[in-house]
Amino acid sequence: QITLKESGPTLVRPTQTLTLTCTFSGFSLRTSGLGVGWIRQPPGKALEWLALIYWDDDKYYSPSLKSRLTITKDTSKNHVVLTMTNTDPVDTATFYCARQARNTFDVWGQGTMVTVSS
Protein backbone atom coordinates (compact mmCIF):
# COMPACT_ATOMS: atom_id res chain seq x y z
CA GLN A 1 0.00 0.00 0.00
CA ILE A 2 1.33 3.41 -1.00
CA THR A 3 0.85 6.24 1.46
CA LEU A 4 2.12 9.78 1.83
CA LYS A 5 1.72 12.07 4.81
CA GLU A 6 2.53 15.73 5.19
CA SER A 7 3.83 17.22 8.42
CA GLY A 8 4.92 20.63 9.58
CA PRO A 9 3.76 23.68 11.50
CA THR A 10 0.13 24.70 11.46
CA LEU A 11 0.98 28.36 12.10
CA VAL A 12 3.80 30.41 10.67
CA ARG A 13 4.55 34.08 11.24
CA PRO A 14 4.85 36.31 8.17
CA THR A 15 8.38 36.48 6.71
CA GLN A 16 9.33 33.20 8.41
CA THR A 17 10.46 30.13 6.49
CA LEU A 18 7.98 27.26 6.23
CA THR A 19 9.38 23.73 6.21
CA LEU A 20 7.11 20.83 5.30
CA THR A 21 7.99 17.16 5.25
CA CYS A 22 6.37 14.47 3.16
CA THR A 23 6.91 11.00 4.61
CA PHE A 24 5.99 8.19 2.26
CA SER A 25 5.87 4.40 2.24
CA GLY A 26 5.14 1.65 -0.24
CA PHE A 27 7.57 2.89 -2.87
CA SER A 28 11.15 4.10 -3.19
CA LEU A 29 12.42 7.28 -4.74
CA ARG A 30 15.30 5.21 -6.06
CA THR A 31 12.85 3.75 -8.60
CA SER A 32 13.30 5.11 -12.11
CA GLY A 33 10.47 7.35 -13.27
CA LEU A 34 9.02 8.17 -9.88
CA GLY A 35 8.74 11.59 -8.31
CA VAL A 36 7.13 13.40 -5.41
CA GLY A 37 5.46 16.74 -5.81
CA TRP A 38 3.90 19.46 -3.68
CA ILE A 39 0.59 21.14 -4.41
CA ARG A 40 -1.24 23.73 -2.34
CA GLN A 41 -4.84 24.88 -2.12
CA PRO A 42 -5.84 28.13 -0.41
CA PRO A 43 -9.18 27.91 1.40
CA GLY A 44 -12.00 27.76 -1.13
CA LYS A 45 -9.64 28.10 -4.07
CA ALA A 46 -8.05 25.96 -6.76
CA LEU A 47 -5.09 23.64 -6.67
CA GLU A 48 -1.71 25.22 -7.34
CA TRP A 49 1.30 23.17 -8.48
CA LEU A 50 4.41 24.07 -6.49
CA ALA A 51 7.36 21.75 -7.01
CA LEU A 52 8.44 18.28 -8.07
CA ILE A 53 11.51 16.14 -7.43
CA TYR A 54 12.37 12.98 -9.36
CA TRP A 55 14.23 9.80 -8.50
CA ASP A 56 17.31 11.15 -10.29
CA ASP A 57 17.20 14.40 -8.26
CA ASP A 58 15.84 16.48 -11.14
CA LYS A 59 13.85 19.34 -9.62
CA TYR A 60 11.15 21.59 -11.03
CA TYR A 61 9.47 24.64 -9.54
CA SER A 62 6.51 26.88 -10.20
CA PRO A 63 8.02 29.87 -12.02
CA SER A 64 6.08 32.35 -9.88
CA LEU A 65 7.42 30.83 -6.64
CA LYS A 66 10.79 29.50 -7.76
CA SER A 67 12.82 32.08 -5.84
CA ARG A 68 11.13 31.07 -2.57
CA LEU A 69 10.94 27.29 -2.86
CA THR A 70 13.43 24.48 -2.32
CA ILE A 71 12.59 20.81 -2.66
CA THR A 72 14.92 18.06 -1.46
CA LYS A 73 14.74 14.34 -0.85
CA ASP A 74 16.21 11.92 1.63
CA THR A 75 15.88 8.57 -0.06
CA SER A 76 17.09 6.61 2.95
CA LYS A 77 14.39 8.12 5.16
CA ASN A 78 11.64 8.18 2.50
CA HIS A 79 11.25 11.91 3.02
CA VAL A 80 10.73 14.82 0.68
CA VAL A 81 11.06 18.29 2.18
CA LEU A 82 9.69 21.56 0.83
CA THR A 83 10.88 24.88 2.19
CA MET A 84 9.18 28.17 1.42
CA THR A 85 10.93 31.36 2.45
CA ASN A 86 9.52 34.79 3.25
CA THR A 87 5.97 33.61 3.88
CA ASP A 88 2.98 35.92 3.63
CA PRO A 89 -0.66 35.57 4.72
CA VAL A 90 -1.56 34.82 1.07
CA ASP A 91 0.45 31.59 1.46
CA THR A 92 -2.19 30.26 3.86
CA ALA A 93 -3.31 26.97 2.33
CA THR A 94 -3.62 23.24 2.62
CA PHE A 95 -0.40 21.72 1.34
CA TYR A 96 -0.46 18.30 -0.29
CA CYS A 97 2.35 16.01 -1.34
CA ALA A 98 1.69 13.41 -4.00
CA ARG A 99 3.54 10.69 -5.86
CA GLN A 100 4.24 11.35 -9.53
CA ALA A 101 4.00 8.23 -11.68
CA ARG A 102 2.42 7.45 -15.03
CA ASN A 103 2.54 11.15 -15.87
CA THR A 104 0.11 11.96 -13.09
CA PHE A 105 -0.14 12.44 -9.34
CA ASP A 106 -1.46 8.99 -8.59
CA VAL A 107 -1.42 8.95 -4.80
CA TRP A 108 -1.98 11.98 -2.58
CA GLY A 109 -1.41 12.67 1.07
CA GLN A 110 -4.24 13.86 3.27
CA GLY A 111 -2.91 17.42 3.28
CA THR A 112 -1.78 19.73 6.05
CA MET A 113 -3.28 23.15 6.70
CA VAL A 114 -0.81 25.96 7.21
CA THR A 115 -1.86 29.40 8.36
CA VAL A 116 0.45 32.37 7.91
CA SER A 117 -0.52 35.03 10.42
CA SER A 118 1.00 37.30 12.99
Partner 1 sequence: QSVLTQPPSVSAAPGQRVTISCSGSTSNIGNNFVSWYQQLPGTAPKFVIYEDNKRPSGIPDRFSGSKSGTSATLGITGLQTGDEADYYCGAWDSSLSAGVFGGGTKLTVL
Binding site for partner 1 (CB under 8 A): 37, 39, 46-49, 52, 60-63, 96, 98, 102-106, 108-111
Task: Quote the least distance from Cβ 49 to partner 1, whole Å.
Answer: 4
Q: Which candidate, 113, 91, 66, places its Cα nearest to that of 14?
A: 91
Q: Which candidate, 108, 38, 103, 45, places its Cα nearest to that of 73?
A: 38
Task: Quote the least distance from Cβ 107 to partner 1, whole Å.
Answer: 8
C-beta closer to partner 1: residue 67 or 102: 102
Half-sphere exposure of residue 31, counting CA atoms within 13 Å on the CB side?
13
Half-sphere exposure of residue 57, counting CA atoms within 13 Å on the CB side?
3
C-beta closer to partner 1: residue 44 or 118: 44
C-beta closer to partner 1: residue 62 or 92: 62
Task: Quote the least distance from Cβ 61 to partner 1, whole Å.
Answer: 7
Report the distance separating Cα 77 and Cα 98, nearest Å: 17
Task: Quote the least distance from Cβ 18 to partner 1, whole Å.
Answer: 19
C-beta closer to partner 1: residue 29 or 35: 35
Amino acid letter, residue 64: S
